[in-house]
Amino acid sequence: MSAGSLAEHLRLACRYAGVSVRSQLQYRASFVMLALSQFVVTAIEFVGIWALFLRFGSLRGWTLAEVAVLYGMVHVSFALAEAAGRGFDLFPGCVRMGDFDRILLRPRSTVFQIAVQEFQIMRLGRFTQGVAALAWGAAAVHAVWTVVGVLAVAIGVATGAAIFYALFVLQGTLAFWTVETLEIMNTVTYGGTEAAQYPLSIYRGWLRTLFTFVVPLACANYLPAGWVFGRADAPGLPVLIVCPVVGAAFLGVCLWLWRFGEKRYVSTGN
Partner 1 sequence: MSLIHVRDLRKSFRVSERAPGMVGAFAGLVRRRCRIVEALAGVTFDVEAGEIVGYIGPNGAGKSTTIKVLSGILVPDSGECLVGSRVPWRDRLNHVRDLGVVFGQRTQLWWDLPVTESFDLLRAIYGVPRRDFAERRELLVELLCIGRLLNTPVRQLSLGERMRCDIAAALLHGPRILFLDEPTIGLDAPSKLAVRDFIRRLVREQGTTVILTTHDLDDIEALCTRVLLIAAGRVLMDGTLDSLRETVTHERRLTLDLTEAAEIREPGARVVYAEGSRVVLAFDPEETSAPDLVARIAARYAVRDLFIHSVPIDEIVAALYAEHAT
Partner 2 sequence: MSAYAAVIGARFRVLLQYRAAAFAGFVTQIFWGWIRLMVFQAFYQSSAAPQPMSLPQVADYIWLGQAMLAMFPWNVDGEIRDMVRTGRVAYEMLRPADVYWVWFCRAVAQRTAPTLLRAVPLLALALVFFGMRTPPGAAEALWFAACLAGALLISSAVSTILNITLLWTVAGDGIARLAPSLILITSGMIVPVPFFPVPIRRVIEALPFRGVNDLPFRVYSGHIPATQAWQVLTQQLAWTMVLVLFGRWLMARGLKRMVVQGG
Q: Which residues bind partner 2 (CB under 8 A)?
A: 29-30, 33-34, 36-37, 40-41, 44-45, 47-48, 51-52, 54-61, 178, 180-184, 186-187, 191, 194-195, 198, 202-204, 207
Q: Give min distance, CB of 11 to partner 1, in A.
A: 8
Of positions 30, 37, 40, 99, contacts partner 1 by CB under 8 A: 99
- Which among partner 2, partner 1, none contacts residue 253 (Cβ within 5 to 8 A by kind)? none
Of positions 10, 11, 32, 37, contacts partner 1 by CB under 8 A: 11
Site pattern 44..83 for partner 1 (x: CB under 8 A): ----------------------------------------
Question: Where are the alpha helices (H) located in 28-146, listed in sequence order?
Answer: 28-56, 64-84, 86-89, 91-96, 100-104, 110-115, 124-140
Rounded Cα gap, residues 73 and 101, in angstroms? 38
Asked if 15 touches partner 1 (CB under 8 A), the answer is yes
Q: Give min distance, CB of 168 to partner 2, in A.
A: 16
Of positions 36, 43, 49, 108, contacts partner 1 by CB under 8 A: 108
Residue 159: which residues within 8 A CB-CB, separation 6 or more? 77, 219, 220, 224, 243, 244, 246, 247
Query: What is the phi/psi pair of residue 102, to 5°?
Result: -65, -40
Query: Which residue, 3 or 6, has its beta carbon nearer to partner 1?
Result: 3
To the nearest 10°, report the CA torsion of 71, 75, 77, 81.
Answer: 160
Q: Give min distance, CB of 83 to partner 1, in A.
A: 18
Scanning 38-46, 131-139, 195-203, 262-270 for contacts with partner 1 by CB under 8 A, the matching segment is 262-270
Q: Say if CB 191 and CB 197 are below 8 A apart.
A: no
Write the single-letter amino acid at 264.
R
Scanning 104-112, 149-157, 162-170, 209-217 for contacts with partner 1 by CB under 8 A, the matching segment is 104-112
- Which among partner 1, partner 2, none contacts residue 209 (Cβ within 5 to 8 A by kind)? none
Site pattern 25..44 for partner 1 (x: CB under 8 A): -x------------------
Start-to-end C-alpha separation, the chain: 23
Element (H, E) at 172: helix 147-174
To the nearest 10°, report the CA torsion of 127, 131, 137, 143.
Answer: 120
Within 13 Å, how many C-alpha atoms sit on residue 245's CB side?
6
Q: For residue 193, which of 205, 211, 175 has the smallest C-alpha distance? A: 211
Q: Give min distance, CB of 108 to partner 1, in A.
A: 6
Q: For residue 270, which of 100, 124, 114, 108 has the smallest C-alpha distance? A: 100
Q: Give min distance, CB of 177 to partner 1, in A.
A: 13
CB count within 10 Å of CB 263 equals: 11
Residues making contact with partner 1 (CB under 8 A): 2-4, 8, 11-12, 15-16, 19, 23, 26, 98-99, 101-102, 104-108, 266-269
